[in-house]
């Protein structure tokens, strides 16, 4: 009999699936009733937290993301909880000092996270070391915490198989517990996945997890080939929130491997009950327009232009605002050019926004880099880290003439900032975690703190109403 090697699944419905399909708008109250069932499946982990879930909780749902995490932790007694972490940018859009990274890792684990998936938008491993070290430190102290380093998958001359395997070795050396190949745009095609997983498996002993999106239509085939090549974990979403710009469906992958050495052993009846729970919510999202049927199809442009779906929709809305929707294809052609100028980085938050916005500027201004964004300048100065290829000297000379560029790890130049952040937001602080919410999204967090205070004061004045859950706003 063939050796049994059950593939493991990370369920994404509480993070990436709703981020990709409904702009991260699933509220905590939608999640909690199904947690008990999800906890019985035996998932490798449930992904439930990240930059967008944190931001959308505060900004749109008026929820404390820390509170959501604690509630999920209470419910998931047996299942590991996973989060996505943007390296030195934490869950935000700029590099932070190491003391903020340390504190965020510590509080994430203390409030319930088990596995931290850490990535950098330039794949500059120096930007991941502080978060890996912080996780390992807590693991030593508390016996909980797992540092997974994610490589942002992208295409380009520089991204050879030697590049990926040498990165895998370096990740092992830096003390990570596992590796993820993070394919945010669905660019990894099935036979390439075979080749890549086999190569990485021979380069490292660390477990390898594969993350992709269904956008280009190949994702479940990619998983099939990756599993045959030895990948340890695949990221899937329960069917009502699968496919399109989200992940392959959990039940489909479970069925695919049934009776093979890769059999997950998960109970399809239990998965069906979980799907039944989410299906009416999906219908509701379709009816309200929150879920646009457009994102459910196959978008082959993704493969042609190698642009993640989220980036395309941002670009469309930027062009609409400027009444310049006719420039869509000009901007699409400009994106790879800007990417080249900036050293051919992967396109993932925040590099995707930086490249996309600069491409829109370049086209609308009628002259390339006539105007450069603050972020483009920062990338050119080296403030986000090192890119795999050199940046264009011509563009450097045009955009930041005579300015000093840095080559060290960017955070080495950022002084500790926790004390300063805390003093800025002192009047709102009700828990230590509030300082971190403020650090990441200063304006949005303060708006939320004001809302929270108003709620608390009014609720106090109307104690009777709380019985019916009628909180006046």
For Mn ion, which is the closer residue by CB, 12 or 135?
Answer: 12
200 near 167, Cβ under 8 Å? no
Tell the burial category of 469 from Cβ atoms under 10 Å away from its Cβ (0-12, 13-18, 19+): exposed
Smallest gap from residue 184 Cβ to Mn ion (A): 5
Measured from each CB, the residue nearest to Mn ion is 16
- Alpha-carbon span 279 to 273, nearest angstrom: 10
Q: Site size for Mn ion, by CB under 5 A?
A: 2
From 8-16, 330-338, 342-350, 384-392, give the range in contact with Mn ion by CB under 5 A: 8-16
Q: What residues from 417 to 436 belong to the interface with Mn ion (CB under 5 A)?
A: none
- Alpha-carbon span 64 to 429, nearest angstrom: 13
Smallest gap from residue 16 Cβ to Mn ion (A): 4
Q: How many C-beta atoms lie closer than 10 Å to residue 148's C-beta?
A: 28
From 9-17, 167-175, 441-449, 454-462, give the range in contact with Mn ion by CB under 5 A: 9-17
Smallest gap from residue 248 Cβ to Mn ion (A): 12
Tell the burial category of 185 from Cβ atoms under 10 Å away from its Cβ (0-12, 13-18, 19+): buried
Smallest gap from residue 50 Cβ to Mn ion (A): 9
Smallest gap from residue 461 Cβ to Mn ion (A): 44
3-state secondary structure 412-455: HHCCCCHHHHHHHHHHHCCCCHHHHHHHHCHHHHHHHHHHHHHH
Q: DSSP 3-state assignment of 204? A: coil
For Mn ion, which is the closer residue by CB, 21 or 69?
Answer: 21
Smallest gap from residue 211 Cβ to Mn ion (A): 6
Q: What residues from 127 to 166 belong to the interface with Mn ion (CB under 5 A)?
A: none
For Mn ion, which is the closer residue by CB, 100 or 149?
Answer: 149
For Mn ion, which is the closer residue by CB, 16 or 251?
Answer: 16
- Alpha-carbon span 379 to 124, nearest angstrom: 13
Contacts of 96 (CB under 8 A, 6+ apart): 88, 89, 90, 411, 414, 417, 439
- Alpha-carbon span 309 to 227, nearest angstrom: 25
Q: What residues from 163 to 202 belong to the interface with Mn ion (CB under 5 A)?
A: 184
- Alpha-carbon span 388 to 379, nearest angstrom: 13
From 12-20, 403-411, 414-422, 446-454, give the range in contact with Mn ion by CB under 5 A: 12-20
| Residue of 271, 253, 250 whose CA lies nearest to 262 | 253
From 13-21, 75-83, 111-119, 435-443, give the range in contact with Mn ion by CB under 5 A: 13-21
Q: What residues from 78 to 117 belong to the interface with Mn ion (CB under 5 A)?
A: none
For Mn ion, which is the closer residue by CB, 98 or 235?
Answer: 235
**Quick one: tokens of 452?**
């929270």
For Mn ion, which is the closer residue by CB, 16 or 434?
Answer: 16
Told to check if 47 binds Mn ion by CB under 5 A, we report no
| CA–CA distances in Å: residue 263 to residues 9, 159, 373, 441 | 11, 32, 50, 43
Smallest gap from residue 14 Cβ to Mn ion (A): 13
For Mn ion, which is the closer residue by CB, 145 or 308?
Answer: 308
Smallest gap from residue 193 Cβ to Mn ion (A): 16
For Mn ion, which is the closer residue by CB, 184 or 359?
Answer: 184
For Mn ion, which is the closer residue by CB, 185 or 315?
Answer: 185
Per DSSP, the residues of 71-100 read HHHHH-SSS-EEEEE-GGGTTSSS---HHH
Told to check if 16 binds Mn ion by CB under 5 A, we report yes
From 14-22, 249-257, 347-355, 453-461, give the range in contact with Mn ion by CB under 5 A: 14-22
To the nearest 10°, report the CA torsion of 186, 191, 195, 201.
70
For Mn ion, which is the closer residue by CB, 20 or 362?
Answer: 20
Q: DSSP 3-state assignment of 48? A: strand
- Alpha-carbon span 274 to 277, nearest angstrom: 5
From 10-18, 73-81, 373-381, 392-400, give the range in contact with Mn ion by CB under 5 A: 10-18
Which residues are near Mn ion by CB under 5 A? 16, 184
């Amino acid at each position: 009999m063939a050796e049994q090697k059950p593939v493991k699944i990370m369920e994404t419905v509480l993070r990436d699936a709703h981020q990709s399909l409904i702009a991260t708008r699933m509220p905590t109250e939608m999640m909690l009733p199904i947690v008990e069932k999800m906890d019985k499946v035996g998932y490798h982990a449930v992904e439930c937290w990240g930059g967008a879930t944190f931001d959308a909780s505060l900004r749109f749902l008026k929820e404390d993301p820390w509170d959501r995490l604690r509630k999920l932790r209470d419910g998931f007694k047996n299942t590991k909880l996973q989060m996505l972490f943007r390296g030195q940018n934490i869950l935000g859009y700029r590099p932070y000092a190491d003391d903020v990274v340390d504190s965020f890792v510590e509080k994430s684990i203390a409030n319930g996270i088990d596995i931290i998936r850490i990535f950098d938008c330039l794949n500059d491993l120096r930007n991941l070391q502080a978060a890996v070290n912080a996780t390992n430190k807590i693991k030593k102290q508390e016996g909980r915490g797992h540092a997974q380093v994610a490589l942002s998958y992208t295409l380009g001359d520089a991204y050879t198989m030697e590049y990926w395997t040498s990165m895998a070795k370096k990740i092992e050396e830096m003390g990570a517990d596992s590796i993820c190949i993070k394919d945010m745009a669905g660019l990894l095609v099935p036979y390439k996945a075979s080749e890549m997983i086999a190569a990485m498996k021979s380069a490292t002993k660390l477990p390898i997890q594969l993350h992709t999106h269904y956008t280009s239509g190949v994702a479940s085939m990619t998983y099939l080939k990756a599993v045959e090549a030895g990948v340890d974990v695949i990221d899937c979403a329960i069917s009502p929130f699968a496919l399109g710009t989200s992940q392959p469906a959990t039940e489909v992958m479970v069925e695919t491997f049934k009776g093979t050495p890769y059999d997950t052993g998960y109970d399809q009846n239990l998965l069906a009950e979980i799907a039944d729970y989410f299906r009416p919510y999906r219908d509701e999202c379709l009816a309200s327009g929150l879920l646009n049927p457009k994102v459910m199809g196959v978008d082959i442009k993704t493969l042609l232009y190698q642009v993640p779906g989220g980036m395309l929709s941002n670009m469309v809305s930027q062009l609409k605002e400027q009444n310049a929707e006719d420039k869509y294809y000009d901007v699409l052609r400009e994106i790879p050019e800007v990417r080249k100028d900036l050293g051919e980085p992967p396109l993932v938050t925040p590099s995707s926004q930086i490249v996309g916005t600069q491409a829109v500027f370049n086209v609308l201004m009628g002259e390339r880099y006539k105007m450069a964004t603050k972020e483009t300048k920062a990338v050119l100065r080296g403030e986000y880290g090192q890119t795999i290829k050199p940046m264009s000297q011509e563009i450097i000379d045009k955009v930041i003439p005579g300015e000093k560029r840095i080559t060290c790890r960017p955070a080495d130049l950022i002084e500790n900032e926790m004390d300063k952040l805390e003093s800025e937001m002192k009047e709102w602080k009700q828990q230590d975690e509030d300082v971190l919410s403020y650090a990441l999204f200063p304006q949005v967090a303060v708006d939320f703190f004001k809302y929270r205070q108003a709620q608390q004061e009014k609720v106090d004045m109307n104690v009777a109403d709380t019985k019916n859950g009628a909180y006046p706003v």
